[in-house]
Structure 1
């Protein structure tokens, strides 16, 4: 009888130890993946790590490709994305669509994560247009959600690294810093945040219709 009780106690202890080891391994794996994501994000913050090929492309097609690539995630969250572009308007862009795709995907994922965190269903509106003013010719892309908006305390530092309201939601605080870096330093454009009428947030990107040559392009041509 006593031997049977000892064996039972040893078995329970072994099961408890096994459960603790499994939990520790799962936590370690999760932290390794998070470290991998952080390192990847740091690399993306460095302009020197960004490579892409210059092509002429319709900006609207780049937007559609990004939406298609995110369609499983958007369907799962029941997020509807609409694109508005003036019919017949010249929307050809001479630039780096790979970089622009990275920017747009970051913005779409940002809307899904923060504008609609606890709800099933929502809207993201994208407007693409050509702008001509005293500065030259630009392509403007506006990405708007209909969520709660961005708190004033956060928006002042929104494009700085490690600024996030997504603690516990998988946010690293590097997504919008990467977006700003690509738009400004690679695509030679600008990006800002607006508070649209009716609520939500609207990120507005303006890109020169022809992105100026980069240093690495000039050296390769030479």
Structure 2
């Protein structure tokens, strides 16, 4: 019979295989009834299997304990009846050979007495060991003289502890016959006389009928549980089936409503995103700017103080060239000469670092334009540079792609009236897509990778507008995709890497909010160029409007 845990694992594996076969590879709508069936049936199988396993383990443990107690009682009975007569012989057989021990009348007499007493008893074999571990008696005379001094059971009983072991044998020589395919419980039990251990008994008890009864009960428990849980499953399946039907109807209604709200959702997502982004960027820039200005403003004072201290130290060394030994030791330990040499370099590097932080903060403020939500005349080049500063980390080498170079062909642009934050967002979307295209080209090892990755930004002033061109030498846009670039929720990126609203929002901001134009030219395997054109001056009504 296979172990219950192995059978349980096989049942669960078959159940999962049944529900997983012939499933389409495309993503499917959540199926309540199907998932309920998988979870509930798996739970039922696991519960039934676990219940049956726990029952069998507990029943076997109870069987071992009760049989062991019975064996201890029988041993005590044997000791009281047989030990007074045969104890002296059993404990003094060291001088007898195995053959002499088997031929001794005491052995035969003890065998006959045990045979009578164990008639109709589950005890199938009895052994007696002296304190040296030698088998001085066995109902199987072939085992007389066997050395059991290293047996764990004997060693345990030798110290006064009873040890029982459950096992199975294909053939077993019992007292009066040879038995086949039997389960046994062997118990090693110490024999006491006058409070001392004088020998060890080993009793073999046939527990096959008891184990068979346990297995029958286990099967009955599994069958009963299966019937009860099966009936419960059928009842629950009716309710879940009805709920699944209602869920599908409601899902279809929600799907239809979602399609109707997509265009409105695009605008709402953009508004919330830009509002949160502006709040975050402006807040971060403000919080960083204050402590950085504090540090930057105090560096000049620190520089002056350090120079004063160094001058004072120089005067001290000039007029006291031989100070106390303890002072010399301390100055040598502090390495004052190195400090004097390195202090100026340290202060200089701190100035460079704080200046760099102030430049980054300024770029963040220029990008978010939190304080310029209205239409204002702004420098387009500053917006481009601020966006590039924020994307600086993405321009750095990213294996297998090397550094992306930026080529600036800036014309002499006038100040442009616009929503600066919105224009910066358009720059961010286009530049991010260009970087993604270059990353993909090097990941796919296309022909584009023969050239160094580059983004070219060109600005030109027209009579009444300005034109900004952003071109990359990435993988380009396939012909089948070009018609959908500005469609809401359209993306060719992997799940989790693109929302499909970036270019839709960019088109809306340029065309609807700024009366401009945005178009692109792309050749697959060569690259893509986006061209933005916005008027220099917007109408008076736009100056009074807000996003």
- TM-score normalized by the length of structure 2: 0.29
Correspondences of 1:49-128 after superposition (within 5 Å): 52-77=373-398, 78-86=403-411, 89-117=412-440, 119=442, 122-128=453-459
Structure 1 stretch displaced more, 96-105 or 77-86: 77-86
Contact 2:438–2:475 (8 Å) recurs in 1: yes
- d(CA) in 1 for partners of 2:533 and 2:425? 15
Contact 1:142–1:204 (8 Å) recurs in 2: yes
- d(CA) in 1 for partners of 2:515 and 2:376? 16
Structure 1 residue 68: Cα displacement: 0.8
More helix by share: 2
- TM-score normalized by the length of structure 1: 0.68
Structure 1 residue 43: Cα displacement: 2.4
| Residue in structure 1 matched with residue 468 of structure 2 by the alignment | 141
- d(CA) in 2 for partners of 1:119 and 1:155? 22
Alignment equivalent of 2:508, drawn from 156, 181, 189: 181
Matched, 1:43 2:268: yes
Contact 1:81–1:126 (8 Å) recurs in 2: yes
- d(CA) in 2 for partners of 1:219 and 1:131? 26
If asked which structure has higher relative contact order (CA below 8 Å, sep 6+), I would say 1
Q: Return closer, same or farther for 1:76/1:115 CA change in 2, 3 Å cut-off.
A: closer
Q: Return closer, same or farther for 1:213/1:157 CA change in 2, 3 Å cut-off.
A: farther
Alignment equivalent of 2:491, drawn from 145, 159, 164: 164
| Residue in structure 2 matched with residue 200 of structure 1 by the alignment | 527
Contact 1:60–1:91 (8 Å) recurs in 2: no
- d(CA) in 1 for partners of 2:413 and 2:508? 27
Structure 1 residue 214: Cα displacement: 4.9
Q: Which runs of 5+ in 1 are unaligned?
A: 1-5, 7-39
Q: Return closer, same or farther for 1:41/1:79 CA change in 2, 3 Å cut-off.
A: farther
Runs (4 or more) in structure 1 with deviation over 4 Å come to: 44-47
Structure 1 residue 168: Cα displacement: 3.6
Q: Return closer, same or farther for 1:165/1:208 CA change in 2, 3 Å cut-off.
A: same
Structure 1 residue 128: Cα displacement: 0.6
- d(CA) in 2 for partners of 1:146 and 1:214? 40
- d(CA) in 1 for partners of 2:494 and 2:519? 23
Structure 1 residue 169: Cα displacement: 6.1
Q: Which runs of 5+ in 2 are unaligned?
A: 6-264, 276-371, 444-451
- Which structure has the bigger radius of gyration? 2
SS at match of 1:127: strand
- d(CA) in 2 for partners of 1:218 and 1:42? 20
| Residue in structure 1 matched with residue 461 of structure 2 by the alignment | 130
- d(CA) in 2 for partners of 1:60 and 1:209? 14
